[in-house]
């Protein structure tokens, strides 16, 4: 066990959701690294068949098996699993009915595909079921195999339906093993062992979706987690300058002097032209910063822990991922 | 880098032969805004356009002066010029209900609409939304009330789903397995059916084990009722598919200059070519540019370091750092786009600069339209 206190001690299943384009998979991957740091064993799960994890870690496509994909800072291992609903169903048939061979035969004539598509929520139960099993799995020593599981979940618009399997399935399967399986999943996802985190940008639509998603989550009795504000640009300019620029009151004259002092322009008129172009850039930046401030305020209203992750100018490569993991740790999310 | 052909969107929306524009791409790249802005621009250039969206964003409705969007096309007020613009949002359950109501006698329709399986299928089946979007598109096209239909695609987990889903749902509702489920007794007799019949025992057994007997029963009732109404689900899916291949259709792949979105756009372009769907080009939204691009990022950083070392012009050095960041971002975005352009050098591209504000009204949409056209 780790010595540090984090905001999510006791949480073993971290569900990560977010609007498309917010960097959900990246944040899930960085969170897994951060949780593993210091010697823990963490499983990172993806469910949408997009092979997002392998892309983020720059690996060949992942098979349907748990395998080690990264080593965390100060020891600790990240394992990954790309869940394939069809494989999960075969495994399920074997586990509960010893039907693996029959299952293979059924696959051949397209019946597994059929069964995983006909019943809404059925796919979801298989996937969340597999995840819940990993959360609860114990080794021979009686201890949990994974210290934490991070689930790269479907986007915000689908998250409650995805997790709320009991409701989804109950309408169709009133009895039977799928119902029991769904109940098991429900036991994990609605317990304090689970937290559902949201990834957002400081933009109107993702913020609105985050707030709506949180409300929906609460209404469904699912445990809300933190808000990860992704791709935050640090503001290099003092507030007074930003304020002036936002109101188009920024005076390029001083800037022109500075540019000249830095030897960036040859004659006086060129300095003024560049200074004016830069002023336009500053004004745009200031307006955006203002908008971001409003979105930040809106997020504060949700009263959930918030973490800010920097925009990486060169995009997210492996070292960028470790940088984000470090930032997550520093802020106490892991 | 190679320069891709310019995507001339005005030429596309002005061409009276263009009857359908499909905006596709991964989630969060601005598909819906692009669709709405193009619709407005087309209307203001004289077309009678309708925008069909699957995005329930209230903000978009409000930007068109509508309190909310629903399954009926609403007239957008404030459009300048001769043309007109309608907007609507797909209500997949409502659309499905309407198909049933239109094709079944009242008693059968009631049977179907109250079946629990139908209720799940019509509101949450993965693929129903895609299927119904295509169905609605077909309806709008057949009505001939508009000369241009602009549709954005559902926020599927993968943008490609929307091409497959109608097929899949059609196949499901029309397929042999369903028939097998419906009438196992009928399948006796000939040898091929014997095999199927033997298979059915296993299938029904497995499904009953998995889902419970009640589900299977609901499913059988539902399918036989639905099948009696119209067996041609697959035929309908095929029909819409052909509509998309027709010359009056233009596909716009929308992306942002991020790795994932660009990668998805590449897949999509390849897939559209495979399916012989008419691709008009790629729209890259939210591109960062600098009005002061003459000053390179490297020079900017060096100058900032110089000023900082001398302890002079604090403001200028901060501005130079900001500018260097912006140039670095622009360079990265450029690299991401190059991946696409080198792989697809003949695909026309339009770039839309990132806006500092979100779109809130027609004026905002108009501005996006101007940016789309100004290449």
* Tens digit of each residue's pLDDT (9 = 90 or more) over B268-320: 999 899 989 999 999 999 999 999 999 999 999 999 999 999 998 999 999 99
A112 assigned to some structural domain: yes
CB contact under 8 Å between B258 and A110, yes or no, is no
The strand pair at A13-18 and A194-200 is best described as parallel
Best to test chain A binding among B226, B315, B319, B333 (most A CBs inside 10 Å)? B319
Query: How many other CB atoms sit within 10 Å of the CB of residue B192?
Result: 9
pLDDT in tens, B196-233: 455 556 666 666 666 666 666 776 777 666 666 555 56
Asked if A108 is an interface residue toward chain B (Cβ–Cβ < 8 A), one would say no
- Chain segment A28-64, per-residue pLDDT in tens: 999 999 999 999 999 999 997 778 899 999 999 998 9
What part of B 152-181 touches A (C-beta under 8 Å)? 155, 157-158, 168, 172, 175, 177
Name the DSSP class of B47: -
Total domains in the fold of chain A: 2
Residue B144 Cα, gap to closest chain A Cα (Å): 33
B292–A274 C-beta distance less than 8 A = yes
C-alpha triplet B315, B319, B323: angle, nearest 5°:
170
If phi > 0 it is left, if psi is from -120 to 50 it is alpha, else beta; for residue B119 that is alpha
On whether both A22 and A120 belong to a single domain, the answer is: yes
Cβ–Cβ under 8 Å, residues B349 and B284 = yes
pLDDT in the model for residue B317: 94
Q: Does A93 touch chain B (CB under 8 A)?
A: yes
Tell me the pLDDT band of B190, cut-offs 50, 70 and 90: very low
Closest to B313 (Cα-Cα) out of A280, A271, A256, A272: A256
Residues B212, A179: C-beta atoms closer than 8 Å: yes
> Based on the number of CB atoms within 10 Å of its own CB, is B103 exposed (0-12), middle (13-18) or buried (19 or more)?
middle
Angle formed by the axes of helices B106-114 and B92-103, nearest 10°: 150
Chain B residues within 8 A of A259 when measuring between CB atoms: 303, 316
pLDDT of the residue at A232: 94
Do A257 and A325 belong together in one domain?
Answer: no
* Mean pLDDT value of segment B78-107: 88
Per-residue pLDDT of chain A (334 residues; tens, 9 = 90+): 455 689 999 999 999 999 888 999 999 999 999 999 999 999 999 997 778 899 999 999 998 999 999 999 889 999 999 998 778 877 777 776 666 666 666 665 555 555 555 555 677 888 888 899 999 999 999 999 999 999 999 888 889 888 987 666 655 556 666 677 788 888 899 899 999 999 999 998 899 999 999 999 999 999 999 999 999 988 889 999 999 998 889 989 999 999 999 988 765 568 889 999 999 999 999 999 999 999 999 999 999 999 999 998 777 889 999 999 999 999 999 9
Determine whether the interchain pair B59/A263 forms a contact, defined as Cβ–Cβ distance below 8 Å: no
Q: Distance between CA atoms of B9 and B348, rounded to whole angstroms?
A: 10
pLDDT range class, residue B160, cuts 50, 70, 90: low
Tell me which residue of A167, A300, A182, A181 sits closest to A221, measured CA to CA.
Answer: A167
Determine the residue of chain B that is closest to A111 in CA distance: B203
Which of B210, B317, B326 lies nearest to residue A115, judging by beta carbons? B210
Q: Is the CB of A205 less than 8 angstroms away from the CB of B26?
A: no
Residue B252, beta-bridge partner list? B23, B281
Q: Which of residues 282-301 of A touch B (CB under 8 A)?
A: 282, 284-285, 287-288, 291
Q: Which of residues 102-131 of B touch A (CB under 8 A)?
A: 116-117, 119-121, 124-127
Domain that holds residue A271: 239-288
How far, in Å, are A10, A76, A150, A151, A193 from residue A2 at the CA level?
A: 12, 11, 18, 21, 17
Say which CATH number the domain at A146 has: 3.40.50.300
* B 235-294 residues inside an 8 A Cβ radius of A: 256, 258-261, 263, 290-292, 294
Q: What is the spatial distance between Cα B282 and Cα B263, in angstroms, rounded to a whole number? A: 12
Widest distance between CA atoms in chain A: 84
Query: Angle at CA A183, nearest 5°, toward A182 and A187?
Result: 115
pLDDT for B201 equals 63
Same domain, A100 and A249: no
- CB distance B71 to B170 below 8 Å: no
Q: What is the pLDDT of residue A33?
A: 97
pLDDT at position B240: 78
Helix or strand holding residue B314 (H, E): helix B314-343
Three-class DSSP category at A22: coil
Distance from CA of B143 to the nearest CA of A (A): 32
CA dist A237 and B351 (Å) reads 29
- How close A9 comes to chain B (CA, Å)? 31
Whether A51 is in a domain gets the answer: yes
Yes or no: say if A207 and A239 are a contact pair by the CB < 8 Å rule. no
Q: Name which of A2-11, A270-279, B111-120, B137-146 the model is least confident about.
A: B111-120
DSSP per residue over A159-171, as a string? HHHHH-HHHHHHT
Query: How far does chain B reach from its first CA to its final CA, in angstroms?
Result: 17
Q: A109 and A258 in one domain?
A: no
Give the model's pLDDT for residue B111.
81
B328 vs A314: CB contact, 8 Å cut-off? Answer: yes
Q: Indicate the pTM of the whole model.
A: 0.85
Q: What is the largest CA-CA distance in chain B?
A: 96
Write down the pLDDT at residue A61: 92
Do A189 and A100 fall into the same domain? yes
Any chain B CB within 8 A of the CB of A55? yes
CA distance A131 to chain B (A): 19
Q: What is the CATH number of domain B10-288+354-370?
A: 3.40.50.300
A293 within a domain of the structure (yes/no):
no
Q: Does A267 touch chain B (CB under 8 A)?
A: no
**Local structure of B222: helix, strand or coil:** helix
In this structure, the answer to whether residues A271 and A155 fall within a common structural domain is no
Size of the A and B interface in Cβ pairs below 8 Å: 204
Beta bridge partners of A53: none
Residues A136 and A104 in one domain: yes
Asked if A157's CB is within 8 angstroms of B291's CB, the reply is no
**Residue A142 domain-assigned (yes or no):** yes
Listed by start position, the domains of chain B span 10-288+354-370, 294-347
The residue length of chain A stands at 334
What CA–CA distance (Å, rounded) separates B203 from B193? 14
Instruction: Look at residue B9 in the predicted model and tell me its pLDDT.
Output: 97
First to last CA, chain A: 13
CB contact under 8 Å between A171 and B119, yes or no, is yes
Contact A206 B299 (CB under 8 A): no
Say if residues B149 and B52 touch (Cβ distance below 8 Å): yes
In whole angstroms, give the CA distance from residue B107 to residue B101.
10
- As a whole number of angstroms, the distance between CA A62 and CA A137 comes to 21
> Is there a domain that residue A247 lies in?
yes
pLDDT of residue A218: 94
Residue of A nearest to B178 (CA): A114
CA–CA distance, A24 with A233 (Å, rounded to integer): 18
A117 and A69 inside one domain: yes
Higher pLDDT, A42 or B153: A42
Lowest mean pLDDT among A277-291, B74-88, B166-180: B166-180
Question: Which tokens belong to B13?
Answer: 């929306």
Count the Cβ atoms, other than its own, within 10 Å of residue B367.
15
Closest residue in B to A238 (Cα–Cα): B315
Query: Cβ–Cβ of B336/A171 closer than 8 Å?
Result: no
């Amino acid at each position: 066990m780790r010595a540090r206190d984090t905001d999510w001690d006791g949480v073993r299943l971290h569900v990560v959701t977010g609007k498309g384009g917010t960097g959900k998979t990246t944040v899930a991957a960085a969170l897994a690294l951060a949780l593993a740091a210091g010697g823990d064993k963490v499983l990172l799960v993806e469910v949408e068949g997009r092979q997002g994890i392998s892309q983020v870690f720059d690996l060949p496509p992942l098979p349907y098996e748990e395998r080690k994909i990264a080593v965390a800072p100060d020891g600790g291992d990240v394992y990954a699993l790309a869940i394939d609903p069809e494989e999960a169903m075969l495994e399920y048939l074997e586990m509960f009915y010893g039907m693996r061979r029959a299952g293979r035969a059924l696959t051949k004539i397209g019946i597994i595909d059929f069964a995983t598509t006909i019943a809404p929520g059925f796919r979801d139960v298989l996937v969340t079921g597999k995840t819940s099993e990993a959360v609860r799995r114990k080794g021979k020593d009686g201890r949990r195999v994974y210290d934490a599981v991070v689930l790269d979940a479907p986007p915000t618009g689908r998250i409650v339906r995805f997790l709320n399997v009991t409701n989804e399935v109950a309408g169709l399967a009133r009895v039977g093993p799928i119902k029991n399986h769904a109940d098991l999943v429900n036991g994990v996802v609605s317990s304090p062992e689970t937290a559902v985190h949201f990834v957002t940008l400081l933009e109107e639509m993702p913020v609105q979706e985050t707030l709506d998603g949180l409300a929906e989550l609460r209404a469904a009795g699912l445990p809300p987690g933190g808000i990860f504000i992704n791709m935050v640009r640090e503001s290099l300019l003092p507030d007074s300058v930003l304020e002036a620029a936002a109101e188009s009151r920024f005076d390029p004259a001083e800037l022109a002097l500075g540019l000249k002092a830095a030897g960036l322009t040859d004659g006086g008129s060129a300095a003024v032209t560049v200074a004016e172009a830069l002023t336009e850039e500053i004004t745009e930046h200031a307006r955006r910063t203002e908008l971001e401030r409003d979105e930040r305020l809106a997020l504060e209203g949700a009263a959930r822990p918030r973490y800010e992750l920097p925009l990486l100018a060169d995009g997210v490569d492996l070292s960028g991922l470790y940088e984000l993991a470090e930032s997550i740790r520093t802020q106490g999310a892991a | 880098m190679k320069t891709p052909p310019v995507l001339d969107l005005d030429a596309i929306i002005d061409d009276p032969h263009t009857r359908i524009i499909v905006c596709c791409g991964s989630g969060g790249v601005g598909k819906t805004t692009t669709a709405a802005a193009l619709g407005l621009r087309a209307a203001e250039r004289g077309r009678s356009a309708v925008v069909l969206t699957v995005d329930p964003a209230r903000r978009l409705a409000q930007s068109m002066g509508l309190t909310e969007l629903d399954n009926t096309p609403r007239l957008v007020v404030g459009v300048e010029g001769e043309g007109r613009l309608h907007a609507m949002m797909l209500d997949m359950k409502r659309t499905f209900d309407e198909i049933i109501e239109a094709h079944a006698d009242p008693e059968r329709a009631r049977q179907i609409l109250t079946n629990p399986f139908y209720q799940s299928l019509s509101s949450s089946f993965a693929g129903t939304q895609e299927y119904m979007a295509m169905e609605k598109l077909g309806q709008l096209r057949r009505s001939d009330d508009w000369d241009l239909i602009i549709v954005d695609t559902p926020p599927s987990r993968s943008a490609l789903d929307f091409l497959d889903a109608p097929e899949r749902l059609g196949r499901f509702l029309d397929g042999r397995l369903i028939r097998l489920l419906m009438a196992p007794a009928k399948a006796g007799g000939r040898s091929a059916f014997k095999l199927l019949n033997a298979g059915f025992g296993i299938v029904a057994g497995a499904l009953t084990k998995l889902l419970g007997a009640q589900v299977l029963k609901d499913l059988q009732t539902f399918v036989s009722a639905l099948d009696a109404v119209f067996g041609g689900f697959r035929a309908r899916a095929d029909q819409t598919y052909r509509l998309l291949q027709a010359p009056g259709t233009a596909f716009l792949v929308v992306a942002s200059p991020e790795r994932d979105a660009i990668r998805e756009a590449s897949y999509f372009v390849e897939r559209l070519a495979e399916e012989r769907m008419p691709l008009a080009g790629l729209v890259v939204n939210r591109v960062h540019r600098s009005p002061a691009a003459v000053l390179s990022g490297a020079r900017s950083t060096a100058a900032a370091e110089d000023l900082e070392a001398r302890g002079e012009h604090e403001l200028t050095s901060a501005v130079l750092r900001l500018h260097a960041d912006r140039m670095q971002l622009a360079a990265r975005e450029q690299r991401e786009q190059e991946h696409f352009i080198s792989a697809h050098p003949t695909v026309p591209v339009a770039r839309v600069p990132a806006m500092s504000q979100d779109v809130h009204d027609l004026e905002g949409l108009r501005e996006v339209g101007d940016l789309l056209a100004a290449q």
